[in-house]
Structure 1
Amino acid sequence: MTLDRRLTPATDRVALESLCGVIERPAYTPGHAARLVVPLADLMTAPDGRRDRQVNFGADVTVIETRGPWCFVQADLDGYCGWLPEAALGTDLPPITHRVTAPATHVYSAPDMKQPEQASLSLGARLSVTGIEGRFARLATGGFVPVQHIGDQPAPDPVPVAESLAGTPYLWGGNSRAGIDCSGLVQAALTACGIPCPGDSDLQRDAFPAAEDIRRGDLLFWPGHVALAMSPDLMIHATAWVMAVIAEPIPEALARIEAQGGGPFLGIRRPPLAQPAAMP
């Protein structure tokens, strides 16, 4: 059996107990729960290796192996596996109540916009809010964020979510306002609406049913690339062509990508309109 390493919670030494009898490893573990306590962390192929994806503040993970200052984890959001610094994780897991709904926000040291900011958080960061002080939400992890930038309900439409990230610089494997790639943009838009979505474009293509005509909210695929349809004629995507998130007419994109040798158009996939996943 060939397992996708991105979704297989196992290193060369240790695997999750659920894989006992499926793959052979020297040891198996139930793992333990942890949460990202830094604004953003790379999820890497090896300790201090290449970035595969990123995880945002408040992301829950299962720790499978700790090796020196590194942990091998599986992200609860989409099952993606990789290495990140142990120092980026905490084991205090207060209930998550909200997510960041703005493209980005700041964590302030006090409920006052004139006070020093402590950190910057991106769209989708998960928060535990313990109270409201004026126009700021107090976080269990410390600090305050503007109430205008957070929410406890899913967004109704992924297209405006993606549009809010227009101009974000392109970053391979990126998942934040600081930098994002094509599949990261799609995942951010869909998960903001409570729609489960894998992290990479090939996994996204496999996750949703095919469609014949292009509608708002559909996903458009090329080899190694995905875009979100804003309408039958317009799409938004994070593209290395201009190294940013842009809106582009679909006919022009089809012609340009073909002319640049980006491979054939692979078709349309249609995520569900309902929000089956729990929020936040």
Structure 2
Amino acid sequence: MALDRRLNAYREDLAEKRLEGQVAACRFVTGEPARIVSPVSGLRPKPDPASGIDTEVLFGEEVTVFDRAEGWAWVKAASDGYVGYLPDAALAPPDASPTHHVVVPRTFLYPGADLRFPACAALSMGSRVAVVGEAETRGTRYFLVADGRAIVAGHCLPIGTYASNDYVAIATRFLETPYLWGGRSGFGIDCSGLVQLSLMMTGRSAPRDTDMQAAGLGVEIGRGDLKRGDLVFWKGHVAIMEDEKTLLHANGHTMTVAREDFEAAVKRIAWLYDVPTGYRRPVT
């Protein structure tokens, strides 16, 4: 059986070292670490800007770089092992290790500790920054980050600490966020990205894609057992139960993260994608 190329870096000319003996390639490499310095970078199956994104990596997240060519880097994301291509300009050496992560849906980086300064960049929940100092301006506290910019301190927590243990509550903070195929940020998100990012912000890991989540995230349950936090799967889609009667999902129907009556959603989706294929409960 062929290895899943989403999680295994291999081509005819090059493959990651751990796959030696499992795949055929001219050369095997361990790769080198790098960190994302773009606010959000799309990870694509081909080094082509016209190719759709499979997922996204966020500011401050680490990747392993296997190859660089013609402005593209072939990488593997440390957060979930996803493999793909992104612009080489989105990467920098991992000099300063992140100390804090963003715990609000969106925030800004400023050139200094003052909200009146023009913002340099917008960051999503889950982004990581290396804090090297603090400052206060007109009562607002800021963290100073390693590259000299500033971020509102109240929008961050130390890595390893979390604003909530309730991933459903975190998912609700993305309500009305635009739907984006392959999206995994507060600027645009897809159904499985919503599940993964919300769980990540409670300290739990999840596979990236719907089929991966349906195959092994948590434990299988029956439809009659559904409660808050359980997952409902269709072919190519996943939704989060907010309670026994309501679900949350990033969906192409509203093109947003939205609430929907569970039974109404099952009926609406059935004509195109059939009935749900399974139900799972993430491990708490």
Same fold by TM-score, threshold 0.5 exceeded? yes
- For residues 207 and 133 of structure 1, the distance between their equivalents in structure 2, rounded to whole angstroms, comes to 45
Query: Do the aligned partners of 1:15 and 1:25 also contact (CA within 8 Å) in 2?
Result: yes
- For residues 169 and 82 of structure 2, the distance between their equivalents in structure 1, rounded to whole angstroms, comes to 26
Q: Match of 2:122?
A: 120
TM-score, with normalisation over the residues of structure 1?
0.94
- For residues 115 and 151 of structure 1, the distance between their equivalents in structure 2, rounded to whole angstroms, comes to 23
Q: Could you tell me which of 164, 178, 181 is aligned with 1:169?
A: 178
- For residues 209 and 94 of structure 2, the distance between their equivalents in structure 1, rounded to whole angstroms, comes to 29
Report deviation, 1:142.
2.9
Q: Could you tell me which of 100, 105, 108 is aligned with 1:106?
A: 108
Query: Once the two structures are superposed, what CA deviation does each residue of 1:188-229 show, in whole Å capped at 9, x if it has no partner?
Result: 101111111111111111122201211211111000000111
Q: Match of 1:228?
A: 240
One-letter amino acid matched to 1:266? T
- For residues 81 and 225 of structure 1, the distance between their equivalents in structure 2, rounded to whole angstroms, comes to 21
Q: Could you tell me which of 236, 252, 257 is aligned with 1:245?
A: 257
- For residues 247 and 41 of structure 2, the distance between their equivalents in structure 1, rounded to whole angstroms, comes to 29
Aligned residues: 272
- Alignment of 1:141 with 2:152, yes or no, is no
Query: Do the aligned partners of 1:11 and 1:72 also contact (CA within 8 Å) in 2?
Result: no
Q: Could you tell me which of 157, 166, 179 is aligned with 2:166?
A: 157
- For residues 264 and 105 of structure 1, the distance between their equivalents in structure 2, rounded to whole angstroms, comes to 38
Query: Do the aligned partners of 2:251 and 2:257 also contact (CA within 8 Å) in 1?
Result: yes
Q: Match of 2:98?
A: 96
Give the match's secondary structure for 1:261.
helix
- Alignment of 1:203 with 2:215, yes or no, is no
- For residues 3 and 255 of structure 2, the distance between their equivalents in structure 1, rounded to whole angstroms, comes to 32
One-letter amino acid matched to 2:230? D
One-letter amino acid matched to 1:147? A
One-letter amino acid matched to 1:179? G
Give the match's secondary structure for 1:51.
coil
Give the match's secondary structure for 2:268.
helix
Q: Match of 2:9?
A: 9
Structure 1 stretch 155-164 or stretch 24-33: which is displaced more?
155-164
Q: Match of 2:86?
A: 84
Give the match's secondary structure for 2:282.
coil
One-letter amino acid matched to 2:193? G
One-letter amino acid matched to 1:143? R
Report deviation, 1:87.
0.8
- Alignment of 1:23 with 2:33, yes or no, is no
Query: Once the two structures are superposed, what CA deviation does each residue of 1:2-21 show, in whole Å capped at 9, x if it has no partner?
Result: 11111112233211111000
Query: Once the two structures are superposed, what CA deviation does each residue of 1:85-135 show, in whole Å capped at 9, x if it has no partner?
Result: 111001133122111110000001111111111000001111111122121
Give the match's secondary structure for 2:273.
coil
- For residues 18 and 252 of structure 2, the distance between their equivalents in structure 1, rounded to whole angstroms, comes to 38
Q: Match of 1:278?
A: none
Query: Do the aligned partners of 2:33 and 2:94 also contact (CA within 8 Å) in 1?
Result: no
Query: Do the aligned partners of 2:64 and 2:75 also contact (CA within 8 Å) in 1?
Result: yes
Q: Match of 2:38?
A: 38
Unaligned runs of 5+ in 1: 274-280
Structure 1 stretch 18-27 or stretch 44-53: which is displaced more?
44-53
One-letter amino acid matched to 2:204? I
The percent identity for this pair of structures is: 38
Query: Do the aligned partners of 1:10 and 1:64 also contact (CA within 8 Å) in 2?
Result: no
Query: Do the aligned partners of 2:62 and 2:94 also contact (CA within 8 Å) in 1?
Result: no
| Shift >6 Å, 4+ stretches | none
Report deviation, 1:50.
2.4
TM-score, with normalisation over the residues of structure 2?
0.93
- For residues 93 and 159 of structure 1, the distance between their equivalents in structure 2, rounded to whole angstroms, comes to 34
Query: Once the two structures are superposed, what CA deviation does each residue of 1:244-270 show, in whole Å capped at 9, x if it has no partner?
Result: 000111111111111x32222012111
- Alignment of 1:62 with 2:74, yes or no, is no
- For residues 147 and 241 of structure 2, the distance between their equivalents in structure 1, rounded to whole angstroms, comes to 37
- For residues 73 and 247 of structure 1, the distance between their equivalents in structure 2, rounded to whole angstroms, comes to 35
- For residues 90 and 221 of structure 1, the distance between their equivalents in structure 2, rounded to whole angstroms, comes to 37
- For residues 229 and 146 of structure 2, the distance between their equivalents in structure 1, rounded to whole angstroms, comes to 35
